Amino acid sequence: MKKKYIAALIGIFIFAVGNAQSYKKPLVSAIKETDLRKDMYEMAADQFWGREAGTLDELKVSMWLADKAKEAGMTPAGDNGTFFQYFDMYRHQVIPQSTLKIGNQQLKIWKDFLVAEPVNANLEADIIYAGNAEPDELSKLNIKGKILAINASDKNIDREMTLFVRRYPGFVRTKYYNKALELGAKGIIFITDDTSDKSWVEVLPQMTRGSYGVEGLREKVTDNIPVLWIKRENAAWVKNNPAASLHLITETYKYPSVNVIGKIEGTDPKLRNEYVLLSGHQDHDGIRHPVKNDTIYNGADDNTSTCVAMLAMARAYKKQPGKRSILFVFHGAEERGLLGSRWHAAHPVVPKENIVAVLNGDMIGRNDNNEAALLGGNAPHKNSEELVKMAEDANNESTKFTYLKDWDSPNHAEYFYFRSDHLPYAKAGIPAIFFTSVLHDQYHTPQDESENINYKKLYKMTEWMYRTSWKVANETARPKVISNFTLER
């Protein structure tokens, strides 16, 4: 018995030694809170005017990032030996010459009515007023070939979402649109309620901007039916079934945007040809309507926080490289619809099959020091068991965050998993996770500034991402994608 016991112990010892990490520990000491703070105050400063995608301000901050990337030890990994991967973003915008006439009333665009759907439309049709009808009641009406006019309703709309008032017109549109289209409506006119009345001033600049896309991936502007808004004080315009004449002209403009991409090569002769992609976005919302007498939307947490974390991680990898190479991608135009990550996922600067995992961060510098979310950490969003385990092991080793798991639920009001730059990579079949300290009441306001960042939290989130990336960069086996993984939104 004694000999068998000893033999068993020896066997366990040999197994443990054989499966022990055969690589160095991560060089966490190279990550400095002072560096995070210094870079934050520079990048989220007023000098870049909110870094709106498709403007010179976004291009200026990309130059700043490229200089910082070089200082941090990255080599260029963009196009033609540079740090830059340029792409064209397309803006579909309804022009001021568009007209709407209801009965004998000639209406003025952006004053008397808003256009929520940037389409081309040239139609004359009767208006059918449906009052307070809900979507399932529309089939009782004969709306085929007509313009549906309906009172906005928040029934069955979840109000538990950040910036609910600003987003509300979109929720109303989603609620009614597919049913109206299915029944043959030629257009929709929504009449405001209390909430959409309040949203008018906020959504006006959003609607005048139009919608955005990228070449080959851009949204069509001809297939959808027009969606308009009028104020309820003018509801009499659409009652009693008057005829309407609508002429919408949508023009498409091309703007340059850019991904800033650098790399630090790995040390292993074979594994250095594989890449761990660290992801964040450089852009924010530019200059918009004032909130508390400030009009510059600096985007310190969203998403300067991850950009400066990536620079800090680069300094650590420069001092101590991993076996695999690290690809740092600062995406452009995320706020316009994940355009930079959609572009790079479709046109990667390294072979797609050589990207072993994507570790994306977005808003990692606020809220409770001991809580964070790992989106893509749970079904149905989880697409790699091994990658999630590496992130969980990294958290258990040091940062010890309590997971805010409800944020990864498909039933969470924010649908936050679908709103950041890991998504195009997950759709492309690459293991991907999303680190975040979640939203706060200064999200997408001018008050998201450097002085409001929780730098202790930002440091911890940076350490968590770095420790996870270190495991991915050094483990012998790369993470696998779950075979039956699908995204259903």
CB contact at 8 A, 342 and 286: no
Only one residue has tokens 């906020």, namely: 202
Mean pLDDT for the stretch of residues 441-445: 95
Q: Can you give the pLDDT at residue 161?
A: 86
Residues 6+ apart with CB under 8 A from 69: 83, 260, 262, 311, 314, 328, 330
Cβ neighbors of 13 (< 8 A, separation 6 or more) are none
Q: Note the pLDDT of residue 241.
A: 79
pLDDT of residue 167: 93
Let me know how long the chain is: 489
Paired with 87 in beta bridges are 257
Task: Summarize the confidence of residues 287-304 as an average pLDDT.
Answer: 95
The two three-digit tokens of residue 122, written as one number: 């040239």
Please answer whether residues 34 and 275 qualify as being in contact, where contact means their C-beta atoms are separated by less than 8 angstroms: no
Angle at 238 between CA 235 and CA 243, to 5 degrees: 160
Q: What is the pLDDT of residues 346-360, one digit of tens each?
A: 999 999 999 999 999
Residues 31 and 36: their CA atoms lie apart, in Å, by: 8
pLDDT tens digits, one per residue of 66-113: 999 999 999 999 999 999 999 999 999 999 999 999 999 999 999 999
- Using CA atoms, how far apart are residues 372 and 420, in angstroms rounded to an integer? 16
**How far is residue 479's CA from residue 55's CA, in Å, rounded to a whole number?**
38
- pLDDT tens digit string along 166-186? 999 999 999 999 999 999 999
**What is the reported pLDDT for 60?**
98
pLDDT digits (tens, 9 = 90+) for 254-289: 989 999 999 999 999 999 999 999 999 999 999 998
Q: Is 345 a residue whose pLDDT tops 70? A: yes
Asked whether the predicted pLDDT for residue 218 surpasses 70, the reply is: no
Residue 36, amino acid: L
Taking residues 53-66, report their average pLDDT. Answer: 97
Which carries the bigger pLDDT value, residue 120 or residue 20? 120
The mean per-residue pLDDT over the stretch 220-237 comes to 88
Q: What is the pLDDT of residue 4?
A: 46
Kindly state the percentage of the chain with pLDDT values over 70.
Answer: 94
Query: According to the model, what pLDDT value does residue 222 have?
Result: 60
Task: Determine the Cα–Cα distance for residues 340 and 424; give it in Å rounded to an integer.
Answer: 10
Strands 121-129 and 147-151 come out as parallel
Query: What whole-number distance in Å separates Cα of residue 314 and Cα of residue 30?
Result: 10
Distance from C-alpha of 374 to C-alpha of 214, rounded to nearest angstrom: 28
Q: Are 301 and 363 in contact (CB under 8 A)?
A: yes
In this structure, the number of other CB atoms found within 10 A of the CB of residue 332 comes to: 32
Percent of the chain exceeding pLDDT 90 equals 87
> What's the whole-number average pLDDT of the chain?
93
Instruction: Return the pLDDT at 8.
Output: 42
User: What pLDDT score does 1 carry?
Assistant: 44
Instruction: Give CA–CA dist 9/194, Å, rounded.
Output: 72
Q: What is the pLDDT of residue 12?
A: 37
- Nearest Cα residue to 298 out of 308, 289, 287, 290: 287
